[in-house]
Structure 1
Amino acid sequence: MVLNTGIQALTSLSLIILTCFLTKNKRFENKSESFYHVKSDTIFYDFASIEMEKWMLEERKHLDSTCKAETKRAETDIKKNKLVYFHYFGMIDSYRSNVEINNLLKKHNIKVDSALHYCTVPIELQNCYARVMRKEIDRKFGNRFIDSLRHIAELQYVNKNLNKIYSFEECDTISRYPEDKTYSDFFKSYEKNFWSSVKYPDDYEYRKDKDYYSYLSADFILHKNGNVSDIKIRLTFQNKKNYKYASYFINELKKFIKNTKWVPAKTMGIIVNSEVPLTLHFK
Structure 2
Amino acid sequence: MKNQRFENRSESLYSVKPDTVISDSIKLEMAKWMEEERKYFDSACQEETKKAKEDIKKNKLVFFHYFGMVKQYKGNNEMNELLKKYSIEVDSALTYCTIPSSLQNCYANVMSEEIDKRFGAKFIDSLRNVAEIEYVKKNPDKIYRFEECDWTSRYPGDKSYEEFSKSYETDFWKDVEYADDFEYRKDKELYSSMGSRFILYKTGKISDVKVDVTFQNKKNYKYSSYFINRLKEFVQKTKWVPAKSSGIPVNSEMEITLFFK
Same fold (TM > 0.5):
yes
CA distance in 1, matches of 2:111, 2:126: 18
Query: Which residue is 1:182 aligned to?
Result: 160
What amino acid does structure 2 have at the position aligned with 1:233? V
Q: Which runs of 4+ in 1 moved over 3 A?
A: 44-47
Question: Does 1:53 find its partner at 2:34?
Answer: no
The residue correspondences of 1:88-103 to structure 2 (distance < 5 A) are 88-103=66-81
CA distance in 2, matches of 1:100, 1:163: 18
Q: CA deviation at 1:106?
A: 1.2
CA distance in 2, matches of 1:173, 1:67: 37
Q: CA deviation at 1:100?
A: 1.1
Question: Does 1:192 find its partner at 2:170?
Answer: yes
Return 5+ residue gaps in structure 2 as ranges.
Answer: 1-21
Cα distance per residue 1:122-161 (max 9 Å; x no partner)? 2222111111111111101111010000000110110011
- Answer yes or no: is the 8 Å Cα contact 1:215–1:279 preserved in 2: yes
- Answer yes or no: is the 8 Å Cα contact 1:70–1:128 preserved in 2: yes
User: What TM-score do you get using the length of structure 1 for normalisation?
Assistant: 0.81
Q: Secondary structure at the match of 1:88?
A: strand
Query: Which residue is 1:124 aligned to?
Result: 102
User: What TM-score do you get using the length of structure 2 for normalisation?
Assistant: 0.88
What amino acid does structure 2 have at the position aligned with 1:142? G
What is the identity percentage for the equivalent residue pairs of Structure 1 and Structure 2?
63
1:223 to 196, 201, 217: 201
Higher helix share: 1
Query: Which residue is 1:253 aligned to?
Result: 231
What amino acid does structure 1 have at the position aligned with 2:250? V
Higher-Rg member (1/2): 1
The residue correspondences of 1:125-274 to structure 2 (distance < 5 A) are 125-274=103-252
Return 5+ residue gaps in structure 1 as ranges.
Answer: 1-43
Q: Secondary structure at the match of 1:53?
A: helix
What amino acid does structure 1 have at the position aligned with 2:78? E
CA distance in 2, matches of 1:127, 1:206: 54
What amino acid does structure 2 have at the position aligned with 1:184? E
Q: CA deviation at 1:45?
A: 3.3
Q: CA deviation at 1:181?
A: 2.8
Higher relative contact order (CA 8 A, sep 6+): 2
CA distance in 1, matches of 2:120, 2:161: 33
CA distance in 2, matches of 1:111, 1:93: 21
What amino acid does structure 2 have at the position aligned with 1:113? D
CA distance in 2, matches of 1:90, 1:167: 19
